[in-house]
Amino acid sequence: MKYALRPARAGRDYAAELNAEQYAAVTTDAKHALVIAGAGSGKTRTLTYRVAHLLDCGVAPWRILLLTFTNKAAKEMLERVGALAGAGAGQIWGGTFHSVANRMLRIHAQRLGYLPGYSILDGDDQRALFRALTKQFAGKTAKSDRFPKAEVLQSLHSLAINSGRSWEETLRCDYAHLQTHQEAIGKIFESYRTRKQESNAMDFDDLLLNLLRLLREHDDVRLDLQQRFLHVLVDEYQDTNTPQAQIIALLAGGAPCSLMVVGDDAQSIYSWRGANVDHIFEFSRTYPGAVVYKIETNYRSVPAILEISNAAIANNTRQFAKILKPAREDGAMKPAVIPAPDNRTEARFVAQRIDELMAAGIAGKDIAVLYRAHFHSMDVQMELTRNHIPYRITSGLRFFEQAHIKDIVAWLRLLANPKDDVALRRILLTFPRVGEGTAAKIAAAWMAAADAWFAQHPQALAITDAHAAVFARVPVPPAVRPHWAEFLANMDRLHPADKSLTSPELVHLVQNFMDAHLRASYENYEERLEDIGQLTRSIADAADLDAFLSQVALLSEDDSQTDPDPDSVTLSTIHQAKGLEWKIVFVIFLGEGLFPHYKVIQQTEPDGVEEELRLFYVALTRAQDQLYLSYPRYNGHSYDSRFCPPSRFLSTLPKHLYDLWEI
């Protein structure tokens, strides 16, 4: 018998699994390519196959950079690539801009004046810092004179960076009503930046800005990365912000690199975070000679859902002209529009319908309830619970945002970065008899002592002497002293001077130190311990402490909820549902004033309502088989509990495209 060996990688029949337009994009030789197409047309699939194709062609996986909107999306795409192209997918650089930036910055942090163990401040940490600074710089005004809250300062600061403008300009254009406070805001922002730098910490925006600085100011690093990446691929390009677009241009600007971006201008929904749809409109100008691919078939939805989605987005004024034809056969039912008497009834409808669908054999994981704002999900949550239907929420509080988890993580952060001011304060506030004032004083003295120590040990990356000695001079009120001494001793026990403790052991020790605090602070102590057990398990999976802490900080970007039941129904904001699909989709709270939001309606320029319309389009196009659009005629917990007409997005839809369901 003769036995023939196949080549190591069986060439896949790409042409059979892709349509002609997709195939052309997957196999293109173009240096710069833009794939622009409507929802559900296989843009993400094209990108996935492209990566597999590149591997097939012999491109080394570590020379491919894949940028996605969530880390989870990157993981899923790389799993698919693994299934398509076999081994090697694991070595591809993939993830969000923030996580990839972090990975590059960990290597080169010292070039920018940071220690490699720098902390990442998440939204909560940022707000804590802004609150402290407001107290310091706005003092009495802050109380009397409608001074912006920490949340507002945070958005203003971030929007300026992500739209590539100065904060003064952003204040003038987008926050004009706060201009009377310009001077105090300026002081707060300045101090915010120095405080971060002094405490060896970066917020999310710094990850992007510092990567930009690294690439611009350090030619050797930029050249090295430009040589390294032969292919840069970007999903959801319509939602890139200015620093992200600049990073792509710097990385892909190097001679050997090729760039492929995919996106849909009609799904641009993050302008409030600085995303700019012009990046996709101007792609061909930014990259002269770029080849543009259009895909005109929708594979996701049944024709009736596609038709209603196309009708909805037709009211959008500025867009790439796109045709979307259905690939699928007609479904069993038209989309349903359901006016419910009130929000409770709407929730009862959703729960009962889900119950019926599940009884008919549809899996919970194939069903999603989508809404514009997290709090819109409250009634549905209650009804699902009452009906014993398991669900997972990807909006709302996430695992690592919970107070007790953050308490524990603060210790780990301080361990990795002894200058982490925010983490230290968080720990201090768990001591009995320590308030904000005392914590601030102790933290300031701690930082001075740490700086002095590092000045004497210029080569050191972490504190290697006994904490009691290094921080002996920190003044601590008598009542707090016993705790303080214990804390310093605990820091020494944790300090991996000989690196002998594993990360799970660290968590375990910290949990013991914190036990009294956890018992005293949280009524459901046992449940909290289970969460900490979960924390121990996830830290055991990480390469090391720094890697784990970056992961935790970056996770709060996407849905990181631990999901006990894999077959649960998904409850999600539309923003978080981007790029995903379900067999059955409910979109709730489609009342005028709720969606579009009444604040957006009041604005004079139409951009806000247009973005809400695109958001509506994103919601509709998540559905494969069945779509339910509902609203409460009377809403019992909105800004004013009154009668609520249907959203303009619903009332302008041609009536023959849906069935009206009367409850």
User: Where in the sequence numbering do the catalytic residues fall?
Assistant: 43-44, 235-236, 267, 622
Which one of 348-356, 412-420, 433-441, 575-583 is the stretch in contact with Mg ion (CB under 5 A)? 575-583
The pairing of strands 659-660 and 93-95 is unpaired
- In angstroms, the Cα distances linking 230 to 31, 84, 418, 432, 635 are 10, 20, 38, 56, 54
- Find the helix packing angle between 545-555 and 503-513, rounded to 10°: 70
Task: Give me the least distance between CB of 239 and ligand ATP, in Å please.
Answer: 11
Nearer residue to Mg ion within complex by CB, 339 or 579: 579
Contact range with ligand ATP by CB under 6 A, out of 34-42, 211-219, 238-246, 588-596: 34-42
**Beta bridge partner(s), residue 342:** 634
Query: Does 596 sit behind a cis peptide bond, omega within 30 degrees of 0 on the bond before it?
Result: yes
What is the maximal distance between C-alpha atoms in the chain?
92
Q: Cα angle at 17 between 14 and 22, to 5 degrees?
A: 75
Interface pick for ligand ATP out of 42, 331, 591, 593 (rule CB under 6 A): 42
Candidates 32, 43, 322, 419: give the one binding ligand ATP (CB under 6 A): 43
Draw the binding track, 186-215, toward Mg ion (x: CB under 5 A; -: no contact). ------------------------------
Instruction: Give, rounded to a whole angstrom, the gap between the first and last alpha carbons of the chain.
Output: 71
The DSSP H or E segment spanning 278 is helix 278-281
Q: Is 300 in the site for ligand ATP (CB under 6 A)?
A: yes
Instruction: Please identify, among the stretches 41-49, 186-194, 588-596, 646-654, the one whose residues bind ligand ATP according to the rule CB under 6 A.
Output: 41-49
- Encoded amino acid at 82, one letter: G
CA 568 to chain CA mean position, Å = 22
Q: Cβ atoms within 10 A of the Cβ of 570, count?
A: 23
CB 101 to ligand ATP: min, Å: 23
Q: Does 331 bind ligand ATP (CB under 6 A)?
A: no
Q: Is the dihedral of CA 371, 375, 381, 382 positive or negative?
A: negative
39 in contact with ligand ATP (CB under 6 A)? yes
Question: Minimum distance from CB of 581 to ligand ATP (Å)?
Answer: 6
CA dist 101 and 385 (Å) reads: 40
Q: What is the DSSP letter of 256?
A: T
Contact flag: residue 621 with Mg ion (CB under 5 A): no
* Angstrom distance (rounded) from CA 589 to CA 595: 7
Considering the rule CB under 6 A, would residue 22 count as an interface residue with ligand ATP? yes
At CA 493, angle to CA 489 and CA 497, rounded to 5? 120
Number of amino acids touching Mg ion (CB under 5 A): 3
Of the pair 308, 474, the CB lying nearest ligand ATP is at 308
- Of 33, 34, 44, 623, the one binding ligand ATP by CB under 6 A: 44
Please give the DSSP secondary-structure letter assigned to residue 396. Answer: S
Residue placing its CB nearer to ligand ATP in the complex, 43 or 376: 43
Footprint of ligand ATP on residues 399-438 (CB under 6 A)?
A: none
As a whole number of angstroms, the distance between CA 380 and CA 255 comes to 53
CA distance 258 to 65: 10
Residue from 22, 41, 44, 170 that binds Mg ion (CB under 5 A)?
44
Task: For residue 255, give both structure tokens.
Answer: 């001679």
Among 21, 34, 45, 196, binds ligand ATP (CB under 6 A): 45
* CA dihedral sign, ordered 246, 96, 609, 36: positive
Residue 95 dihedral angles phi and psi, to the nearest 5°: 150, -170
322 or 404, CB closer to ligand ATP?
322
Binding footprint of ligand ATP, residue count (CB under 6 A): 18
Q: Does 264 bind ligand ATP (CB under 6 A)?
A: yes
By the 8 A CB rule, do 659 and 333 touch? yes
Cβ atoms < 10 Å from Cβ of 16: 7
19 forms part of the interface with ligand ATP (CB under 6 A): yes
Partner whose binding site includes residue 404, from ligand ATP, Mg ion, none (CB under 5 to 8 Å by kind):
none
Stretch that binds ligand ATP, among 32-40, 63-71, 81-89, 473-481 (CB under 6 A): 32-40
Residue 295 host element (H or E): strand 291-295
Residue 96 binds what, of ligand ATP, Mg ion, none (CB under 5 to 8 Å, by partner type)?
A: none
* Residue 52 near residue 85 (C-beta atoms within 8 A): yes
In the list Mg ion, ligand ATP, none, the entry touching 45 (Cβ below 5 to 8 angstroms by class) is ligand ATP
Residue 300 or 348 having the CB closest to Mg ion: 300
Choices 103-111, 200-208, 577-585, 627-635 (CB under 5 A): range interacting with Mg ion: 577-585
| 72 binds ligand ATP per the rule CB under 6 A | no
Contact 12, 56 (CB under 8 A): yes
Quote the tokens at residue 205. 């925006």
DSSP 336: E
State residue 415 phi and psi, 5-degree precision: -65, -45
**Angle at 66 (CA atoms; ends 61, 67), nearest 5 degrees:** 160
Helices (H), 400-435: 403-416, 421-428
Does 41 sit near ligand ATP (CB under 6 A)?
A: yes
423 binds, among Mg ion, ligand ATP, none (CB under 5 to 8 A by kind): none
* One-letter identity of residue 156: L
Residue 299 lies near ligand ATP (rule: CB under 6 A): yes
The residue (of 237 and 349) whose beta carbon lies closer to Mg ion is 237
Parallel/antiparallel/unpaired status of strands 258-263 and 659-660: unpaired
The distance of closest approach from Cβ of residue 578 to Mg ion in the complex, given in angstroms and rounded to an integer, is 8
Is residue 50 at the binding interface for ligand ATP, with CB under 6 A as the rule? no
Contact positions with ligand ATP (CB under 6 A) in 580-619: 581
Q: Find the shortest distance in angstroms from Cβ 407 to Mg ion.
A: 37
The residue at minimum Cβ distance from ligand ATP is: 42
Among Mg ion, ligand ATP, none, what does residue 19 contact (CB within 5–8 Å per kind)?
ligand ATP
Q: By CB under 6 A, which span of 43-51, 146-154, 315-323, 585-593 interacts with ligand ATP? A: 43-51
Q: Which is nearer to Mg ion, 246 or 621 (CB)?
A: 621
Give the position of tokens 């559900």. Answer: 40
Among 364, 579, 596, 632, binds Mg ion (CB under 5 A): 579
Taking only Cα atoms into account, the Rg of the chain, rounded to an integer number of angstroms, comes to: 26
The one of ligand ATP, Mg ion, none whose footprint includes residue 39, by CB under 5 to 8 A per kind, is ligand ATP
One-letter amino acid for residue 70 of the chain:
T
Q: Is 267 in the site for Mg ion (CB under 5 A)?
A: no
**Does 94 engage in binding with ligand ATP (CB under 6 A)?**
no
Question: Quick one: which segment of 33-41, 130-138, 466-474, 647-655 binds ligand ATP (CB under 6 A)?
Answer: 33-41
Taking residues 522 to 561 in sequence order and writing x for each that binds Mg ion by CB under 5 A, - otherwise, the string is ----------------------------------------
| Residue 663 structure tokens | 């409850």
Residues that bind Mg ion (CB under 5 A): 43-44, 579
Residues that bind ligand ATP (CB under 6 A): 18-19, 22, 37, 39-45, 264, 267, 299-300, 579, 581, 621
